[in-house]
Each structure stands twice: as C-alpha cells, then as structure tokens.
Amino acid sequence: MGGVPPRPREDPRPLKGVLRSFAFAWEGLAYAWRVQRNFRIEVLLGALAVGLGLWLGVDLTPILLMAALVLSLELLNTALEALTDLASPVYHPLAKQAKDTAAAAVLVASLFSLLLGLYLLLPPLLARLGLS
C-alpha cells in the first residue's frame, strides 16, 4: 500500500506535545517571513502604526487587533496558496479563484485596517503637528 504515510502518534507527555506545536507554528511563521514579501510589509506597517499610536497616546487595542487580523489572514492565505499549488500543480480556474479569494480576504482586512488607522491616528497626528 503506497500513498500517505501514517500519522505520527501523539506524545503522551502533554507539555512536550504543546511545545512541539509551538515549534511547528514558529516554523510556519518563519516560512511566511522568508517567502512572503507582503507579510513582511504588513508586519512593518503594523509596527509603524503601533509606534505612531504610542507616540500619539491613543488606545492601541484596535490597532493591535487589526494588525493581528491582517497578519493572521496573510498566514492563512499563504497556507491556502501552498495547498492549492499542491492539489493543482497546473493551472486550473478553480485554483485561481481559491487563491484570489483568499487574497481578497487580506485586502478587505487591510483596507479596513487603513481606515481605522486614519480614524484613530490622523486627528491626534494633525493636532500634534499643529495642523488642526
């Protein structure tokens, strides 16, 4: 019988299993950082928004939540792209639709993040610069 290898047994030591799960998640994060330029750009923009929010003294909660949403969707988009490439190594219109739709989810979250950032950060920034 060929095909899929058997699933590894779970480690009976719960803490070790949790630590391994974190290690796998870290590998996924490192992979996305290495291969996804947009992920690196989104991390930078999120850090800039947090830094600006700190400087302006605004509530960081919505900024952090939106940054987490955008980055999480980018990670899911990366995973979906990899799975789609595995399942459909040659061009297929449904594979394109899956990839484009996952990318659209990141775009929608990014646009709402931008709007929220402008709403939260622009008025105090203009006041700090003496332009309002």
Catalytic-role residue among 10, 27, 74, 81? 74
Active site residue 74: yes
Q: Minimal CA–CA distance to 62: which of 126, 117, 107, 118? A: 117
What is the C-alpha separation between 70 and 76, in angstroms, rounded? 10
CB–CB of 81/94 below 8 Å? no
Residues annotated as catalytic are 74
